[in-house]
Structure 1
Amino acid sequence: MRMLVLFHDNCFDGAASAAVFSRFYRERIRPDATLTYQGLSHQAGGAPVSDSAFQGDENAIVDFRYSQSPKLTWWFDHHASAFQNEGDEAHFLADRSGRKFHDARRKSCTVFLADIARERFGFDPGPMVELLEWAEIIDGAQFPSPQMAVGLREPALQLMTVLEANHDPQLIPEVIHLLQSHTLSEVASRPMIQEPFRPLFERHQQNREVVRRKASLDRGVVFFDVADEGLDAMNKFIAYDLYPDARYVVWVGCSRKKAKVSIGSNPWRPELRKHDLSAIAERWGGGGHPVVAAMSFKPEELPRAREAARAIAEELRAEPATVSV
């Protein structure tokens, strides 16, 4: 029996969730199953997961939006914007399989999944406690300081950096397999991680200088446009290291694959956040969490991405909203 695990691609929490699900599934559900993996990426305009993605005898989605496909067997997610298409939430609420779970209050899908697997299915996540702890730190932005988040000294952060920049379709499935039975230092020390990490760390340092040169702070909002630099991804904490008193960061980037707008609130100054960023992103076809969100556009839609970024930055500067999420 083939179980296909669809996970949030280029994401530490996505890979960690897939690893925890895999160990749980083998130990408590189907020891004889063959598990395979496929990453999912957010598409321009918030398009739903294609029905053609569900190629397994059973199919699971972890750390990614809901699908109404009858081929979806298991689902775990913690994004506030999980139900983006018409009828998604009603379909989820009507489900009686006992195998689909959502909680937008959770910091990481990894720990949410582990808790459900323990409480409802008798799974013991104890051997994976290090992975659970780092998933909470990374996806919940629980770093003690921005310096730690941008220093990238810890094995988990080096692994995170490689996963976020990866374009090799074989690498993340191999990482998911290793994370089920190896420590983070054992995985991160392998050549498959260290060889790409070294040039990525150099680029990370260059990105820091690009942000320093291009960013500006206005009424608590840091804004920068790096689309002309060919960047659509970077360490999301650089701006908070440079502007520790910022309330929000808004930036726009572009590569050959996509244009992207990222918005975030300062995790070290949570009292300054007055907006639900996932709700703002949903207006532009994106989504995420109340504290961090993003929108994807086609590369040729860069002017629209820039329009969205400018509009969002101005909305956040005006500070009319008040939220309790």
Structure 2
Amino acid sequence: MSLLKAVVEQLDIALTQAELYNQSRSKTRELETTLKKLKRTQTQMIQNEKMSSLGQLVAGVAHEINNPVSFIYGNLSHAKEYTQNLFNLIDLYQTHYPNPHPEIQEEIEAIELEFLQEDLPKLFNSMKVGANRIEDIVKSLRNFSRLDEAEQKQANLHEGIDSTLTILYNRINRRDHLPAIEIVKNYGNLPEVECYPGELNQVFINIISNAIDAIEEKDAKRTTEQIKLEPSLIEISTKVVGKFVQICIRDNGPGIPPEVKERLFDPFFTTKEVGKGTGLGLSISYEIVVEKHSGSLKCNSNPGKGTEFVMKIPMKLIPFQ
């Protein structure tokens, strides 16, 4: 009987320990889930504060630039018209007075009047092109910040992508004497999408910036001749897939190792040097696409084969489950 009693006591202890172990495992899982939620909340708070400040700064800069540019652009056509009127008047004088006073003839030669009449319209045209470029940049800055669009609305995703490319123009085209990165756009016929446009613009700039970083890493080990033979490129494709719109952003950079790819969307995970990356960009992008828009965001990549990010956004916003 004593032996049986001892066995029962040991079984009771074992069962108690097993129960405590199961409870411990359950609590551990709960703590891990809570920790992940806290990390995501922390990243979102950081990003919200950062983007709010950035949005206010961008909107302010865009407004301050837009006023003088509008003044310049609005007066260019008048200046060109007035100049042409003066040229017409000079032509009339030359027609009716073909032999001007020697002093006038000397001044005509000194200012190279014939060249001036030919070149000045070209100068006005180049000024107009520059003013148009500034207007496009201002429009892109406003479109990117979208401070007035914190709520969901119907939006043209191609406009958001194009604005992102305009903002990243220098990184794409001016690369310390290296050839520009080729941008290939294969846009499908997308309808307007019910979404949070400003937040999706964050996703576009995060992914395209990462693609540029990857290409720069690869091109740092290549000569100009090698880059010309195998150009660096970023391809952006869009299409409708069922009730979703699909955006693919692909680069021909060095690709991502499997062990890095597994942690790509983890908060604060980065392979960049200190000061060059926070590890928040892709984590926040994942949250915006998956949790805020009930979509999906996946990465396809192999070392040496480049990287492709594929996101799907429902055309009509539905609550995240």
TM-score, normalised with respect to structure 2: 0.23
Q: Kindly name which structure, 1 or 2, has the bigger radius of gyration based on alpha carbons.
A: 2
TM-score, normalised with respect to structure 1: 0.23
